[in-house]
Amino acid sequence: MQTIRPRLRAARILAAAVLLGAGLMAVPAATPSSARGATGPLPDCRLDDILTIPRGYDDWQHTLVDWIFTVGKSYVPPDLVSLSRAGVTGGGQVRKVALNDLKAMAAAARAHGTPLGSVSSYRSYQTQVSLFNMYAKGYGFDAAILFSARPGHSEHQLGLAIDFAAAGTSTFVSGTDRTGRWLATNGWKYGWLLSYPEGKQKVVCLNYEPWHYRYYGRELAAKIHASGLTTREYLWQNFTAVDPTTGQPLATPTPVPSPTDLASPGSSGDVPTDSPLESASPSPGVSAGETPVPSSPAGTLFGLDPPALVAGLLLVLAVVGLIASVGLRRRRPGSGYRR
Ligand SMILES: [Zn+2]
């Protein structure tokens, strides 16, 4: 009995260390990469062409476009699907990530007696060029800029925005008609939020648009709704990671990437690229098309984050301990390990 005991004990220690090590290795080392958030106050509404960060196609929830920030010319969502698949009239396309919730929202609106249609949904960069030029020509640039986004700056280019109408019509909903009121009350429950609310022009830069909704997913939409902030403020405060003046990426406060970040090809791999000529970004050192990739963080060794290092160390210690205990038993039988 007593000759087996020490080995059993060592084996238990080893097993515990292995379990602990495996557990630690499985724990993400940091918060999600997209949860960076800007420092400093919301930038004033001024016209600029700073490439927004994040803007990877997988970062769709967190991508801010406004008067300042752009996704650039080459941004084309990879998963556009027809709005008709969601039971919304009017044609057009939306990203597939929004389809299920749009479908659920359309069904609920229909059940309420206010079925949904669309006037406009996904618009390419080129379509926005034509549209904005037409408005600028017809109304003058200074007026147009208050109700139409410049190319590259439109939420429609993200494939996440819809200008809603009552089904079967091509007239925007208002803030007072039944469909518009239903959307204003219920949209957020399905992940859709009004981008340009009434009385917020100074904050969101565009005039009140009771028809223009953008999709965020139910969870984030509920958070933004509860915050009482506009979507521009919320994205800026929580996710936008670029200096609004220099166009430089903001330093991340927690520079340790989690294993999921490293594994996900979308976090930086599918960021649309842009011609440097396109952006009017005044930053001298960084070309506008440059894709910001998180550099190897300072806190890692051998490419391992701290929990993985600790886990590895525990494993080594446990094995050394086991070998030592077995060796001890062989040299001095009958001694030690007695309670
Ligand atoms: Zn719109």
Which residues span the domain enclosing 174?
50-249
Q: Look at 300 and 129; give whichever has higher pLDDT.
A: 129
Pairing of strands 161-166, 116-120: antiparallel
Structural domain contains residue 228: yes
Q: Which pLDDT belongs to residue 40?
A: 87
140 and 182 both lie in a single domain:
yes
Helix axis angle, 306-331 to 5-26, nearest 10°: 170
Q: What is the pLDDT of residues 241-273, one digit of tens each?
A: 999 999 999 876 554 554 444 433 333 446 676
Whether residue 327 contacts residue 6, with contact meaning beta carbons closer than 8 Å, is answered with no
Whether residue 258 contacts residue 59, with contact meaning beta carbons closer than 8 Å, is answered with no
Whether residue 40 contacts residue 320, with contact meaning beta carbons closer than 8 Å, is answered with no
Structural domain contains residue 297: no
- Point out the domain boundary residue: 210, 230, 249: 249
Measured in Å, residue 64 CA sits from the centre of ligand 1 at: 15
pLDDT for 337 beyond 60 = no
Which residue in 155, 198, 209, 233 is the catalytic one?
A: 209
179 and 227 both lie in a single domain:
yes
Distance between CA 237 and CA 40 in Å, rounded? 8
Distance between CA 233 and CA 216 in Å, rounded? 14
* Long-range contact set of residues 184-189: C-beta below 8 Å, sequence gap at least 24: 184/210, 186/105, 186/108, 186/109, 187/105, 187/213, 187/221, 188/221, 188/222, 188/224, 188/225, 189/105, 189/218, 189/221, 189/222
Q: Which pLDDT belongs to residue 5?
A: 53
Spatial neighbors of 100 by CB under 8 A, at least 6 apart, are none
Distance between CA 175 and CA 156 in Å, rounded? 20
Q: Which pLDDT belongs to residue 318?
A: 53
Q: What is the pLDDT of residues 87-128, one digit of tens each?
A: 999 999 999 999 999 999 999 999 999 999 999 999 999 999
What integer best gives the mean pLDDT of the chain? Answer: 78
236 and 324 both lie in a single domain:
no
Among 71-80, 245-254, 282-291, 292-301, the range with the most confident prediction by mean pLDDT is 71-80
- Omega before 28 within 30 of 0, i.e. cis: no
9 and 144 both lie in a single domain:
no
- At position 184, the amino acid (one-letter code) is A
Of 250-254, 291-295, 335-339, the range with the lowest mean pLDDT is 291-295
Q: Scanning the structure block, which residue is given the tokens 């050192």?
A: 285
Measured in Å, residue 93 CA sits from the centre of ligand 1 at: 13
Structural domain contains residue 42: no
Structural domain contains residue 70: yes
178 and 312 both lie in a single domain:
no
Annotation marks residue 209 as catalytic: yes
Whether residue 279 contacts residue 50, with contact meaning beta carbons closer than 8 Å, is answered with yes
Measured in Å, residue 163 CA sits from the centre of ligand 1 at: 5
Measured in Å, residue 162 CA sits from the centre of ligand 1 at: 6
What is the mean predicted confidence (pLDDT) over 168-191?
98
311 and 192 both lie in a single domain:
no
Which among 68, 92, 94, 67 is positioned nearest to 80, based on CA atoms?
94
123 and 180 both lie in a single domain:
yes
84 and 231 both lie in a single domain:
yes
- Point out the domain boundary residue: 210, 234, 249: 249
Q: What is the pLDDT of residues 27-86, one digit of tens each?
A: 333 334 445 676 689 999 999 999 999 999 999 999 999 999 999 999 999 999 999 999
Structural domain contains residue 273: no
pLDDT for 143 beyond 60 = yes
Among 5-14, 29-38, 156-165, 246-255, the range with the most confident prediction by mean pLDDT is 156-165
Structural domain contains residue 293: no
202 and 71 both lie in a single domain:
yes
Number of domains within the chain: 2
Give the percent of the chain with pLDDT over 90.
62
What is the mean predicted confidence (pLDDT) over 212-240?
98
Q: Look at 227 and 317; give whichever has higher pLDDT.
A: 227
Q: Scanning the structure block, which residue is given the tokens 């599918």?
A: 270
Q: Which pLDDT belongs to residue 43?
A: 96
Q: Say which CATH number the domain at 149 has.
A: 3.30.1380.10
Distance between CA 173 and CA 118 in Å, rounded? 9
Measured in Å, residue 92 CA sits from the centre of ligand 1 at: 13
Structural domain contains residue 282: no
236 and 322 both lie in a single domain:
no
Confidence of residue 293 (pLDDT cuts 50, 70, 90): very low
Measured in Å, residue 125 CA sits from the centre of ligand 1 at: 14
Measured in Å, residue 172 CA sits from the centre of ligand 1 at: 10
Q: Which pLDDT belongs to residue 144?
A: 98
pLDDT for 276 beyond 90 = no
- At position 145, the amino acid (one-letter code) is I
Both structure tokens of 322: 């086991």
113 and 17 both lie in a single domain:
no
231 and 323 both lie in a single domain:
no
For residue 319, CA distances in Å to 156, 214, 337 come to 58, 55, 18
End-to-end CA distance of the chain: give it in Å, rounded. Answer: 13
Structural domain contains residue 79: yes
Measured in Å, residue 214 CA sits from the centre of ligand 1 at: 9
- Point out the domain boundary residue: 223, 249, 275: 249
Whether residue 308 contacts residue 25, with contact meaning beta carbons closer than 8 Å, is answered with yes
Distance between CA 179 and CA 115 in Å, rounded? 7
Distance between CA 121 and CA 180 in Å, rounded? 16
